[in-house]
Amino acid sequence: MKILIINSGSSSIKYQLMVMPENEVICSGMIDRIGLETSNVTFKTAVNSLEEMIAIPNHKVGLQKVANMLLDAEKGVIKSTSEIAAVGHRVVHGGSDFSDTVKIDEKVKAKIKQLFELAPLHNPANLEGINVAEEIFSSAEQIAVFDTAFHQTMPEVAYKYAIPNYLLTENKVRVYGFHGTSHKYVSEKAINYLKDNSKIITIHLGNGCSMAAIKDGKCIDTTMGFSPSNGLIMGTRAGDIDQSVIFYMIKNLGYTPDEVNAVLLKQSGMLGLTGYSDLRDIEAEAEKGNKECQLALLMNAYRIKKTIGAYAAALNGLNAIVFTAGIGENSSYMRNLVCTDMDYLGIEIDASKNQVRSKEIREINKENAIVKVLVVPTDEEYEIANQVFHLLKN
């Protein structure tokens, strides 16, 4: 069964065409920096590799580019869209309506659209991916895999806010958690590697960032909440902020609610602190002596370190921390900042191991460190394909 996976992120599109259950990757690629001056487009097969820098203004243009590459007469991998049995879509917010993988119909799309306000950087891009895929791959089953599903094991003490009870019972205002597909995949990989599944903290660092406390293979807490906007500092999102700031901006500074929302989601985070949203640019500037970039990196690491301490307490111990996603897997600089001065918790990394680049799971902790520090490349596309295959099989 050929399954196309479309993972539309806030500023990127990852895709893979896979044969399941053989877990054979026919092709894969990514379009990142969507909406910036130039975007990086990649397309890889066993025999061909394409990389180009072009303008990709939005997700619709990006998805049309993906389809064109798949069908390309010279380097493409399919002759007809009818070869694809299913398209699996990552959908960020499922609210209280979806806790499992589902076939997409008009009712499902309507629910995804209703949740736009809770995931304004993601759900619109996810739905755009679904709509374009329905047009291009019209004979394929369209399947939604929700980021919120993995976090449904959180206990009430963790997912409930200290607000009037009716807001939960009537309006479903609670912690949902996000990046669940990634946290699920890397935690399972870590558990298999460690032969110990008791107490793990997974750290997903990309344009969006989140952490999860995982006990016995199940999520017990996570940093993102009602929407994917709080918790850690992100590319353009502020993360945790005193809610009084919002009312101050509206009442005293003349902002409208929509303007405040735009500031906190699209103009804050690393972009607001430095003028850059991409960590690669920020690290390069920091190395040149840019004080704002240096401080922003320290602030980012500081918030991660605080959360590690909090989750170690919630777990009543710690066996391993796991770095994953674009920044977590590739930035030795950020991993070093996070793990410096953490020896009290048993976290100590080996500087030489930290510099190694690999697509395989690896340890970067010192040999005798109490807590394992792992870098586990995430594969949300495989996790989505696996869930799609099992849904259709059953």
Query: Percent of the chain, pLDDT > 90?
Result: 74
What's the pLDDT score for residue 298? 97
Q: 132 with 237, same domain? A: no
Give domain status of residue 169, yes or no. no
Task: State yes or no: pLDDT of 121 exceeds 80.
Answer: no
Share the mean pLDDT of the chain: 93
Mean pLDDT is lowest, of 190-199, 206-215, 270-279, for 190-199
**CATH number of the domain to which 116 belongs:** 3.30.420.40
Q: 114 with 218, same domain? A: no
- Of the residues 84, 116, 146, which one is the last residue of a structural domain? 146
Q: What is the pTM of this model?
A: 0.85
Q: Are strands 372-375 and 320-324 parallel, antiparallel or unpaired?
A: parallel
- Of the residues 120, 146, 172, which one is the last residue of a structural domain? 146
* pLDDT one-digit tens code per residue, 269-327: 999 999 998 899 999 999 999 999 999 999 999 999 999 999 999 999 999 999 999 99
pLDDT, greater one: 36 or 376: 376
pLDDT, greater one: 347 or 277: 347
Give domain status of residue 173, yes or no. no
Please, which residues bridge with residue 4 across strands?
17, 87
* 354-368 as b/e: b if 16+ CB within 10 A: beeeeeebbbbbeee
Confidence tier at 128 by pLDDT (50, 70, 90): confident
The candidate with the shortest Cα–Cα distance to 391, out of 216, 142, 65, is: 142
Q: 350 with 202, same domain? A: yes
Give domain status of residue 314, yes or no. yes
Give domain status of residue 137, yes or no. yes
Q: 349 with 256, same domain? A: yes
What's the pLDDT score for residue 63? 86
To the query of whether residue 350 is one of the catalytic residues in this protein, the response is no
* pLDDT one-digit tens code per residue, 246-267: 999 999 999 999 999 999 999 9
Give domain status of residue 275, yes or no. yes
Specify the length of the chain in residues.
394
User: Do 86 and 141 contact (CB within 8 A), yes or no?
Assistant: yes
CA distances from 278 to 122, 126, 188, 207 (A): 17, 21, 29, 7
Q: Say how far apart CA 3 and CA 321 lie, in whole Å.
A: 32
**Token duo for residue 249:** 């901006």
In this prediction, residues 61-70 reach a mean pLDDT of 90
Residue among 32, 147, 278, 379 flagged as catalytic: 147
What's the pLDDT score for residue 263? 97
* pLDDT one-digit tens code per residue, 74-108: 889 998 889 999 999 999 888 878 878 999 999 99
Could you list the residue range(s) of the whole structural domain that residue 318 is in? 196-375
Q: Say how far apart CA 222 and CA 67 lie, in whole Å.
A: 35
* Domain count across the chain: 2
Give domain status of residue 221, yes or no. yes
